[in-house]
Amino acid sequence: MRSRVSVIIPCYRCAHTIGRAVDSVLRQTQSVTELILVEDCSADDGVTLAALSALKASQGNVPISIVVLERNSGPGGARNAGWAIAQGDYIAFLDSDDSWHPRKLEIQLAWMQAHPEARLTAGRSALLAVGQSPQDFALPASACLVSGAALLRSNCFPTRTVMLCRDVELRFDPAKRYAEDYLLWLRVVLSGMPSYVIDLPLAYTYKAEYGASGLTAHLWKMERGEIDTYLRVCADGLISKFACCALVLYSLLKFGRRLVVRVVKRLEHQ
């Protein structure tokens, strides 16, 4: 039986970018079973919902569902809401201001079908200028198994690139607004589920990782989210207290470096 892929996009005040994200899904060389858009109670007088409704009305090849949340749940809660109704054998995530390479799902699905032990795969993410087209790449792609130690040092699973098997029972923590994706990936890997990174740029973002807008602008909140993630996996019994303390210190050092980089960049633009 042909495998099915459900795509979930959390949507919050994204009327100006959601069309690009949806278009990158519809242009996939691997057919999509369904596209689930989760309107996360955007505070914009219905502008986002209207944009989602227009996209649904204009597309006939891929079934598009719109889930409207009555209160803002954050990206984790919104993804969970879409996940709860997804029908695919595989679940793929994309954020409303990002996009995919046209062969993203084709490459990822073929690799996971050839390696049925894999529960989760991700790819590389690249920065793309607005209006710039994705470049093709050479195949076959190589992939590496990601250890818990490697993932604890750095989150190498950009959510925009992740696809996982439907039978993964873990979910995003809806109470977390920062690093909620990192927490889920750590719980998956540290629980012993084989997870891999495919060494190809499968998805794109249009702003620098620590840019001046969006969630990435709130560096300290992001840092607190990462520290909270380490504390939670420690409370789960997945890492030792000693490892948790070492990781928190390491995270704070990385945070200090990010602050220095941001200051330098601001000075360069003055």
Give the range with max mean pLDDT: 58-62, 123-127, 135-139.
123-127
Asked if pLDDT for residue 27 goes beyond 70, the answer is yes
pTM of the entire predicted model: 0.92
Round to the nearest angstrom and report the end-to-end CA distance of the chain. Answer: 59
Question: Cβ distance 107 to 200 under 8 Å?
Answer: yes
Asked if pLDDT for residue 270 goes beyond 90, the answer is no
Print burial letters for 71-94: b (CB count within 10 Å at least 16), e (below 16): eebbbbbbbbbbbeebebbbbbbb
| Cα torsion through 172, 177, 178, 184, rounded to 10 | -10
The predicted structure's pLDDT at residue 1: 46
**pLDDT tens string 199-249:** 999 999 998 765 444 445 578 899 999 999 999 999 999 999 999 999 999
Using CA atoms, how far apart are residues 64 and 53, in angstroms rounded to an integer?
9
CA angle, residues 69, 73, 74, in degrees to nearest 5:
125
Sign of the CA dihedral running 101, 104, 106, 107: positive
